[in-house]
């Protein structure tokens, strides 16, 4: 007898799960029904800043697989259809066809029973309830629909000044994008430094570099309202102390797991509001419900606690694993070490593992060390300075975290530490790592090795 | 009472050892005497191709520390002085001042007693005894003196055609260098494909790319003699089948450990002709003699046997470790996984771990998988194709090796596998690695993850 797999959410996690399950089981064994409330499936939200900035010409380049392509693989994909209730007792979901509902058609709502359920509802951008926040010209950049709305605004109104609210990775990437479009860009940031995913001493380097690129950085500043013109369009962003004129405002202040549905269904949520799953990405306590992507919390393998990380690469992994399990196979997701890399113009920013405050919160005692080195041999053309900060546990010398701020060739070096963290290596073990060396690729001591050597000394000195 | 540390060889391993020992012990506790037969100390031999090619303008940029700088740190450095005998019973070395010897001065030779000895005699290029091999215009590129001699030749004689003998990393780097100088370049290679440090299927990609760059590749060709003009200068390289006209010939056919001195002194050598050391880089069976750099064999942590790898990054690590131990501290060198990266024009070539033939020789049963992916998200400008080949052990799925051929952003990805090999990870574990992702840096599945996923399937299929 055929089973039915129902999937809520048609982006990376949901549709990877659908594809992987389909690979394992044909339509005669497994019916797959997927709901997506937006207009697009399987797209790269991470690519939106580069589309807005003009590096990517066409929206469709960001779409890995269209609804039609999914349907060709025998996936019953229902676009513009929102699931508004999960009934775990009856094993069914209640859905609303948004087009029909808009026209007031009475068969817009219906229920679909499931044998297996996947929740991949993603995240929603934080949107503080400020006066003016809903004015035309204020944009989030979370979904492809959001990106399209922003580009429509930019094409309709000729502006000169953009204010980006928030200086996390979306904020800095959007600052670059708007600068590329010829805007004067101001970034208004609540924190003392941009990139709160780094320690402040490393974030400061990012802020200095961005200022050097002609991006105006306003730190320690809380937005109090969005000011509008008489006809209601955005004209400025106000903080307690100042006003920053803006023809367009971009919100990049982070996201929260989209788990209203799950909460109403009584499914277990963590302290960050994300669904809690087991090793197989199954919702804890629910044999036949899986969840993945931006709506779940993941185990931080270094801190030993759950975190919420909205990142396409995790969502894709989750989807694969869920699809394998829901399709009768077996796969697990052990957790993350918190790796992230981003760039703003030619500045590369990377981090993995714990920041100082994470290490403290996790109960670690630690040492830190910060070094400067270059991406290539010093004498080789294009050798660019980079700063590397390393955290290691006191006594054991176990690597706890790494942060990098540099130029070309800096960012992906974080992978060395990501693998070392996964393996539980000590900084002493890291000094012996056999990393790729040739003058166009690295100094004879790779910057990560230089940091590890200095960290060994710091661990020893701390006793 | 002061001890005397004698060091034979003034390049990376020797002088790193000297510097590190000096850091730990002052001149009143430890006298350091170092012998170097050439004109330079502590230079980057790996940088020679880039100096010849013009990327590096001045020879002195390749010198990390000059003789004067070493002497300022209380190291008694004797340049142009060759050690010609080690007497381990008497604990002394016999040295010859080459300048004095050239003038026939009778005090050119003398003995120096040691308490501790470091052998860092490096490697010597293979130079087969072919007719014409010593003709003017035939050059090795092993030492800075060699590089200077080649550049002197290039400046003296205006040539158009260069033949590079050998297609290992020195060969391909020199092919690029000569092409940059405007030469028509032919590479004559004994193997079926260039880059014998890769499997032939990956080497073929390198050969095709080099041909595409206008470098003439002649594979499966053994050089039989160097043909000369009437006045004795090189004019062509002959193989059994053909002659390749040449105004200059560059030998890049590999190196052997320079261990004549050590062999005569009865020190233990391995099957590759290199000195055998223990974990602390001490020559086996000799409490007070250390050896490091290109003259030693190192433990291959994957194969479990000794290898000879001439590479500056290892030499620097060895020097640090020897200096720490000889200076009364403690450090060890666990071994290598065989990582190497090189480039020829915009082609990046990297490898770590075992090739197929190494895996066979080590007794492993294995599976291989080869994938194509891109350096960045496919839609991001500059995304470049790369080919990744992965070897994994049958049954256990343990990673055994990785090879990469690609363009910008390909080479240093080998570090991911280098760390994973060191940690003994399986390809299954690697699929969960939390690697840095953002569209300018990687597709949502990093190429290494794509290879790992496919390797998991291959391991399972092999049973």
Among residues B414, B399, B406, which one has the least CA distance to residue B455?
Answer: B399
CATH of the domain at B375: 3.30.390.30
Contact between residue A85 and residue A261 where contact means Cβ atoms under 8 Å apart: yes
The arithmetic mean of pLDDT across residues A295-299, rounded, is 98
Confidence category of residue A457, pLDDT binned at 50, 70, 90: very high
The arithmetic mean of pLDDT across residues A252-269, rounded, is 96
Q: How far is CA B209 from CA A1, A418, B53, in A?
A: 54, 32, 19
**Hey, are the CB atoms on B380 and A50 less than 8 Å from each other?**
yes
* Chain B residues with CB-CB distance to A333 below 8 A: 432
**Hey, are the CB atoms on B50 and A316 less than 8 Å from each other?**
no
**Hey, are the CB atoms on B437 and A47 less than 8 Å from each other?**
no
Q: Compute the nearest-CA separation of A135 from chain B (Å).
A: 30
Collapse the DSSP code of B129 into the 3-class scheme (helix H, G, I; strand E, B; otherwise coil) and give the result. Answer: coil
Among A24, A351, A438, A441, the residue to mutate for chain B (most B Cβ within 10 A): A438
Residue B72 burial class via C-beta count within 10 angstroms: exposed 0-12, middle 13-18, buried 19 and up:
exposed
**Hey, are the CB atoms on B47 and A317 less than 8 Å from each other?**
no
Among residues B278, B392, B291, which one has the least CA distance to residue B88?
Answer: B291
Residue B1 has pLDDT above 80, yes or no: no
Q: Are residues A24 and A80 in the same domain?
A: yes
* Dihedral, A401, A407, A409, A413 alpha carbons, nearest 10: 0
Helix pair B200-212, B169-180: axis angle to 10 deg: 10
Report the residue of chain A nearest B279, measured CA to CA: A432
The arithmetic mean of pLDDT across residues A212-235, rounded, is 96
Q: Are residues B45 and B16 in the same domain?
A: yes
Among B419, B452, B457, the residue to mutate for chain A (most A Cβ within 10 A): B419
* Dihedral, A18, A19, A24, A26 alpha carbons, nearest 10: 80
* Chain B residues with CB-CB distance to A336 below 8 A: 434
**Hey, are the CB atoms on B416 and A416 less than 8 Å from each other?**
yes
Q: How far apart are CA B403 and CA B415, in angstroms?
A: 11
Phi then psi for residue B228, to 5 deg, are -125, 160
* Chain A residues with CB-CB distance to B340 below 8 A: 436-438
The arithmetic mean of pLDDT across residues A65-94, rounded, is 97
- Residue A447 is predicted with a pLDDT of 98
Collapse the DSSP code of B274 into the 3-class scheme (helix H, G, I; strand E, B; otherwise coil) and give the result. Answer: coil
The arithmetic mean of pLDDT across residues B421-434, rounded, is 98
A129-176 pLDDT, tens digit each: 999 999 999 999 999 999 999 999 999 988 999 999 999 999 999 999
In B23-179, DSSP assigns E strands to 30-36, 76-79, 81-87, 92-97, 109-113, 116-119, 123-125, 138-140, 161-165
* Chain A residues with CB-CB distance to B419 below 8 A: 416, 419-420, 423, 425, 433
Collapse the DSSP code of A108 into the 3-class scheme (helix H, G, I; strand E, B; otherwise coil) and give the result. Answer: helix
B333, part of any domain: no
- Residue B157 is predicted with a pLDDT of 85
Collapse the DSSP code of A127 into the 3-class scheme (helix H, G, I; strand E, B; otherwise coil) and give the result. Answer: coil
Q: Compute the nearest-CA separation of B154 from chain A (Å).
A: 21
Q: How far apart are CA A54 and CA A63, in angstroms?
A: 16
**Hey, are the CB atoms on A438 and B379 less than 8 Å from each other?**
no
Q: Are residues A181 and A220 in the same domain?
A: yes
A331, part of any domain: no
Q: Compute the nearest-CA separation of A232 from chain B (Å).
A: 36
Nearest by CB: B423 against A341, A425, A440: A425
**Hey, are the CB atoms on A437 and B334 less than 8 Å from each other?**
no
Contact between residue A322 and residue A290 where contact means Cβ atoms under 8 Å apart: yes
Q: Are residues B243 and B279 in the same domain?
A: no
Residues 6+ apart with CB under 8 A from B302: B337, B338, B353, B354, B362, B400, B401, B421
* Chain B residues with CB-CB distance to A403 below 8 A: none
A34, part of any domain: yes
Contact between residue B1 and residue B115 where contact means Cβ atoms under 8 Å apart: no
The single-letter DSSP state of residue A63 is B
The arithmetic mean of pLDDT across residues B117-133, rounded, is 94
Q: How far apart are CA B271 and CA B257, in angstroms?
A: 11
Locus of tokens 């004559």: B188
Q: How far apart are CA A80 and CA A363, in angstroms?
A: 46
Q: Are residues A26 and A103 in the same domain?
A: yes
Active site residues of A: 46
A305, part of any domain: yes
* Chain B residues with CB-CB distance to A330 below 8 A: none
Q: Are residues B248 and B99 in the same domain?
A: no
Q: How far is CA B25 from CA A164, B14, B42, B66, B72, in A?
A: 56, 16, 21, 21, 15
Among A15, A197, A419, the residue to mutate for chain B (most B Cβ within 10 A): A419
* Chain B residues with CB-CB distance to A422 below 8 A: 423, 425, 429, 432-434
B159-169 pLDDT, tens digit each: 999 999 999 99
Q: Are residues B105 and B137 in the same domain?
A: no
Mean of all residue pLDDT scores within chain B: 97
The arithmetic mean of pLDDT across residues A414-428, rounded, is 98
Report the residue of chain B nearest A448, measured CA to CA: B415
Confidence category of residue B158, pLDDT binned at 50, 70, 90: confident
Q: Compute the nearest-CA separation of A275 from chain B (Å).
A: 20
**Hey, are the CB atoms on B436 and A169 less than 8 Å from each other?**
no
**Hey, are the CB atoms on B379 and A62 less than 8 Å from each other?**
yes
Q: How far apart are CA B132 and CA B234, in angstroms?
A: 8
Confidence category of residue B185, pLDDT binned at 50, 70, 90: very high
Among residues A416, A391, A359, which one has the least CA distance to residue B423?
Answer: A416
Number of domains in chain B: 3
**Hey, are the CB atoms on B313 and A414 less than 8 Å from each other?**
no
**Hey, are the CB atoms on A438 and B412 less than 8 Å from each other?**
no
* Chain B residues with CB-CB distance to A413 below 8 A: 412, 415
Q: Are residues B239 and B321 in the same domain?
A: no
Residues 6+ apart with CB under 8 A from A362: A302, A303, A304, A305, A354
- Residue A441 is predicted with a pLDDT of 97
CA angle A91, A97, A103 (to 5 degrees): 145
**Hey, are the CB atoms on B441 and A341 less than 8 Å from each other?**
yes
Mean of all residue pLDDT scores within chain A: 97
* Chain A residues with CB-CB distance to B316 below 8 A: 444-445
Q: How far apart are CA B124 and CA B120, in angstroms?
A: 12
B364, part of any domain: yes
In A1-108, DSSP assigns E strands to 3-8, 30-36, 76-79, 81-87, 92-97
Q: Are residues B233 and B119 in the same domain?
A: no
Domain boundary among A222, A253, A284: A253
**Hey, are the CB atoms on B436 and A415 less than 8 Å from each other?**
yes
Residue A108 has pLDDT above 90, yes or no: yes
* Chain A residues with CB-CB distance to B332 below 8 A: 432
Q: Are residues A296 and A267 in the same domain?
A: yes
Contact between residue A147 and residue A124 where contact means Cβ atoms under 8 Å apart: no
Q: How far apart are CA B288 and CA B328, in angstroms?
A: 12
Q: Compute the nearest-CA separation of A59 from chain B (Å).
A: 10
**Hey, are the CB atoms on A436 and B416 less than 8 Å from each other?**
no
Q: How far apart are CA A399 and CA A424, in angstroms?
A: 7
* Chain A residues with CB-CB distance to B429 below 8 A: 422
Q: Are residues B131 and B120 in the same domain?
A: no
- From the centroid of its chain, how far is CA A195? 13
User: What ipTM goes with this model?
Assistant: 0.96
DSSP string for residues in A150-209 = HHHHHHHS--SEEEEE--SHHHHHHHHHHHHTT-EEEEE-SSSSS-TTS-HHHHHHHHHH
Nearest by CB: A333 against B332, B337, B432: B432
Residue A110: give the domain boundaries.
Answer: 3-124+256-326
The single-letter DSSP state of residue B276 is P
A281, part of any domain: yes
- Residue A201 is predicted with a pLDDT of 98
Domain boundary among A253, A280, A313: A253
Nearest by CB: B418 against A46, A411, A433: A433
Q: How far apart are CA B290 and CA B281, in angstroms?
A: 6
Q: Compute the nearest-CA separation of B264 from chain A (Å).
A: 31
Encoding tokens for residue A123? 């995240």
Q: Are residues A40 and A154 in the same domain?
A: no
Helix pair A12-24, A312-326: axis angle to 10 deg: 30
**Hey, are the CB atoms on B340 and A439 less than 8 Å from each other?**
no
Contact between residue A207 and residue A194 where contact means Cβ atoms under 8 Å apart: yes
Q: Compute the nearest-CA separation of A30 from chain B (Å).
A: 22
B339, part of any domain: no
CATH of the domain at B270: 3.50.50.60
Among B170, B172, B195, B434, the residue to mutate for chain A (most A Cβ within 10 A): B434
Report the residue of chain B nearest A45, measured CA to CA: B439
Q: Compute the nearest-CA separation of A405 from chain B (Å).
A: 14
Q: How far apart are CA A224 and CA B277, in angstroms?
A: 68
Residue A1 has pLDDT above 70, yes or no: no
Nearest by CB: B341 against A47, A437, A444: A437
A175-223 pLDDT, tens digit each: 999 999 999 999 999 999 999 999 999 999 999 999 999 999 999 999 9
Report the residue of chain A nearest B408, measured CA to CA: A409
Phi then psi for residue B14, to 5 deg, are -60, -50
Sign, CA torsion A298/A19/A64/B403: positive
* Chain A residues with CB-CB distance to B317 below 8 A: 431-432
Residues 6+ apart with CB under 8 A from B347: B206, B209, B210, B213, B405, B406, B407
- How many Cβ pairs closer than 8 A exist between chain A and B? 202
Domain boundary among B253, B286, B314: B253
The single-letter DSSP state of residue A297 is -
Contact between residue B443 and residue B377 where contact means Cβ atoms under 8 Å apart: yes
B335, part of any domain: no
- Residue A213 is predicted with a pLDDT of 96
Catalytic annotation, pick one of B46, B74, B135, B331? B46
Residues 6+ apart with CB under 8 A from B152: none
The arithmetic mean of pLDDT across residues A228-251, rounded, is 96
The single-letter DSSP state of residue A52 is H
Nearest by CB: A444 against B313, B343, B409: B313
Phi then psi for residue B387, to 5 deg, are -110, 130
């Amino acid at each position: 007898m055929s089973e039915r797999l129902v999937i809520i959410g048609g982006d990376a996690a949901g549709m990877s799960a659908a594809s992987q399950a389909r690979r394992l089981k044909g339509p005669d064994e497994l019916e797959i029904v997927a709901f997506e409330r937006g207009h697009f499936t399987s797209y790269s939200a991470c690519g939106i800043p580069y589309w807005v900035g003009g590096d990517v010409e066409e929206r469709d380049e960001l779409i890995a697989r269209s609804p039609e392509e999914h349907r060709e693989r025998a996936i019953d994909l229902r676009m513009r259809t929102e699931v508004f209730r999960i009934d775990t007792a009856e094993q069914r979901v209640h859905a609303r066809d948004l087009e029909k509902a808009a026209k007031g058609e009475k068969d817009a709502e219906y229920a679909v029973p499931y044998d297996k359920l996947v929740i991949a509802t993603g995240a929603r951008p934080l949107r503080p309830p400020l006066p003016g926040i809903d004015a035309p010209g204020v944009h989030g950049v979370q979904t492809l629909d959001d990106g399209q709305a922003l580009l429509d605004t930019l094409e309709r109104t000729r502006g000169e000044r953009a204010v980006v609210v928030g200086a996390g990775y979306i904020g800095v990437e959007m600052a670059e994008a708007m600068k590329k479009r010829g805007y004067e860009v101001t970034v208004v940031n609540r924190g003392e430094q941009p990139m709160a995913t780094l320690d402040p001493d490393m974030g400061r380097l990012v802020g200095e570099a961005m200022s050097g690129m002609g991006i105006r950085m306003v730190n320690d500043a809380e937005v109090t309202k969005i000011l509008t013109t008489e006809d209601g369009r955005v004209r400025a962003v106000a903080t307690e102390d100042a006003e920053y004129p803006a023809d367009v405002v971009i919100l990049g202040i982070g996201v929260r797991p989209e788990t209203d549905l799950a909460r109403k269904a009584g499914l277990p949520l963590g302290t960050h509001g994300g669904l809690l799953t087991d090793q197989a990405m199954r919702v804890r306590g629910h044999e036949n419900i899986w969840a993945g992507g931006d709506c779940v919390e993941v185990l931080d393998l270094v801190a030993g606690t759950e975190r919420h990380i909205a990142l396409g690469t995790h969502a894709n992994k989750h989807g694969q694993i869920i699809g394998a399990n829901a399709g009768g196979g077996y796969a697990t997701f052990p957790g993350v070490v918190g790796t992230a890399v981003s760039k703003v113009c030619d500045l590369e920013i990377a981090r993995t593992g714990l920041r100082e405050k994470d290490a403290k919160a996790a109960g670690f005692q630690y040492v830190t060390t910060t070094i400067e080195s270059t991406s290539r041999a010093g004498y080789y053309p294009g050798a660019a300075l980079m700063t590397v900060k390393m955290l290691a546990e006191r006594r054991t010398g176990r690597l706890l975290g790494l942060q990098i701020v540099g130029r070309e060739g800096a960012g992906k070096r974080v992978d060395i530490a990501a693998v070392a963290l996964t393996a539980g290596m000590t900084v002493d073990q890291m000094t012996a790592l056999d990393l790729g060396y040739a003058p166009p690729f690295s100094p004879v001591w790779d910057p990560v090795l230089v940091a590890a050597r200095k960290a060994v000394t710091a661990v020893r000195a701390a006793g």
